[in-house]
Structure 1
Amino acid sequence: MNELVRLSKRMSELGLSSRREADEWIAKGWVKVDGKVVSELGSKVLPSQKITIEKQASAEQSRKATILINKPVGYVSGQAEDGYQPAVVLIKPENRWEEDKSPMKFHRDQLKSLVPAGRLDIDSVGLLVLTQDGRVAKKLIGETTEIEKEYLVRVRYTKPGKLPDADLQRLNHGLMMDGKKLLPAKVTWQNDDQLRFILKEGRKRQIRRMCDMVGLKVTGLKRVRIGNVRLGNLPEGQWRYLRDDEQF
């Protein structure tokens, strides 16, 4: 606890900001350490020192948008690729859900630096989070995230009979991917052809690959929850703002 750490790193650890935000605020003189303004980039602090931010920083942060979208099939989560459009193109006034209760008003600046906080495959649908807020991105995709993600997955068994209970248990815990053991999951049958997956990690095409390992073919995949935030009745292809009373 007596080792010096970069101020921006410490601010990120405390959940005050992302590292990039921290550097911007430090340069603007909006950060105080033990009551004194620190404006030099690369400054270091002790973990025991008190860090506070000016009201301007809080106000700037509160204006940053976090948007929930019900992504349809055929859109990629991030940058355009292979001729497919990114989900961000759906964020326009005419696609805003009419039942969105947020008082935020849409303006084009909200599309700047709006990044996906986690992936959703091109052939998957459901809840996708796009945010300008580095704290949200870190919480959802950081290395130490504990946030659950819930999926409804339609499957077809490619072998005779039904999926053995032992293979269902393997889906819950025991599979390896890319030479590394997967974290425990919660996988249960919802009906004859639909599974519910609850994961705390998100490797590329993880659910499809997990199912493949036990002889299941995924025919549909929908993300319905991230942490405490649910897709709910948000229509496919439409979006809404994260409300002030919602926490992942």
Structure 2
Amino acid sequence: MTDKNPDPTHIRLAKRVAEQLNCSRSTAEQFIEGGFVSVDGQVVEAPGARVRPDQAVAVAQDASLLALTPVTLLLHKPVGFEAGLGVPAGQAAHASRSQGATPATTLLNAASHLAEDASGIRVLQRHFKQLECFTPLPTEASGLVVYTQDKRIARKLAEDIESLEQECIVEVKGDIAPHGLQRLCHGLSFNGRPLPPIKVSWQSETKLRFALKGIRPGQIPAMCDAVGLTVVALKRIRIGRVPLAKVPEGQWRYLQPWERF
């Protein structure tokens, strides 16, 4: 919150950094949001923070704008959280609150970052801004949801999501109809249209593995219902070549530079 009557001796951190580095205010703001600036030894990521003349403002020696690249976050969404489509995270949160659902973006914070994340990326507050989701997942489902700041990845997901294979583990109950597994693989229709061949196999007595492209909302429950099964739980564990891996429910990790959908 901004002080309505700020002390005139206190100035914005961005202005102080710009003066120290003899750079533009926008460049100073990028250094601050990049986590390279500390005040009295504490990293401050808010360019609008106000500092006193006697406070020590330091810029890290390794400060570089080249490090301020956009990031992609891979979230293990729990059941009961909403993950929308192509809507900036802030707007999605507003829309979800108005509908009574809990936005999955509320789980994206420093506290829920996977401790064993192998990316080596420093968690910054700027990483939770201007995120978009192109991999929606029903509120009643769990699993991998992708949030990205990277326009290239956003374009890839928006344009190719129909051709990217998605893998889901589906817990079911009931007795499967004769030749039901074969029908799940090929021979069913959804919304009046025949479905293409799909890879379906048993993982256990109560869990099926689906690997399919161009999945539609409600498709897997409808397919299971057609062969006498009821879906108890659905979890997405892979999109294209990117797996959820060992990220616990409610936590997230960074997409690593070498990973490709």
**Normalised by the size of structure 2, how large is the TM-score?**
0.65
Among residues 79, 83, 86, which one is paired with 1:73 in the alignment?
Answer: 79
For residues 92 and 123 of structure 1, the distance between their equivalents in structure 2, rounded to whole angstroms, comes to 22
For residues 126 and 230 of structure 2, the distance between their equivalents in structure 1, rounded to whole angstroms, comes to 42
For residues 212 and 138 of structure 1, the distance between their equivalents in structure 2, rounded to whole angstroms, comes to 34
* Equivalent in the alignment of 2:186: 173
Alignment: residue pair count: 185
For residues 171 and 112 of structure 1, the distance between their equivalents in structure 2, rounded to whole angstroms, comes to 41
For residues 212 and 141 of structure 1, the distance between their equivalents in structure 2, rounded to whole angstroms, comes to 30
Structure 2: stretches of 5+ with no match in the other structure? 1-65, 85-91
Structure with bigger gyration radius: 2
* RMSD (Å), alpha carbons: 2.0
> Could you tell me how far 1:179 is from its partner in structure 2?
2.3
* Equivalent in the alignment of 1:131: 148
> Could you tell me how far 1:246 is from its partner in structure 2?
1.1
For residues 144 and 91 of structure 1, the distance between their equivalents in structure 2, rounded to whole angstroms, comes to 23
> Could you tell me how far 1:144 is from its partner in structure 2?
6.9
**Normalised by the size of structure 1, how large is the TM-score?**
0.68
Structure 1: stretches of 5+ with no match in the other structure? 1-58
For residues 189 and 94 of structure 1, the distance between their equivalents in structure 2, rounded to whole angstroms, comes to 36
1:205 maps to 2:218: yes
For residues 170 and 204 of structure 1, the distance between their equivalents in structure 2, rounded to whole angstroms, comes to 19
AA matched with 1:245: W
**Corresponding residue SS for 2:156:** helix
Among residues 65, 69, 80, which one is paired with 1:63 in the alignment?
Answer: 69
For residues 171 and 232 of structure 2, the distance between their equivalents in structure 1, rounded to whole angstroms, comes to 5
* Equivalent in the alignment of 2:39: none
Among residues 233, 244, 247, which one is paired with 1:234 in the alignment?
Answer: 247
For residues 138 and 240 of structure 1, the distance between their equivalents in structure 2, rounded to whole angstroms, comes to 21
Contact 2:198–2:212 under 8 Å retained in 1: yes
For residues 149 and 192 of structure 2, the distance between their equivalents in structure 1, rounded to whole angstroms, comes to 34
Cα distance, 1:133–1:181 mapped onto 2, change above 3 Å: farther
* Identical positions, percent: 42
* Equivalent in the alignment of 1:114: 131
Contact 1:67–1:129 under 8 Å retained in 2: yes
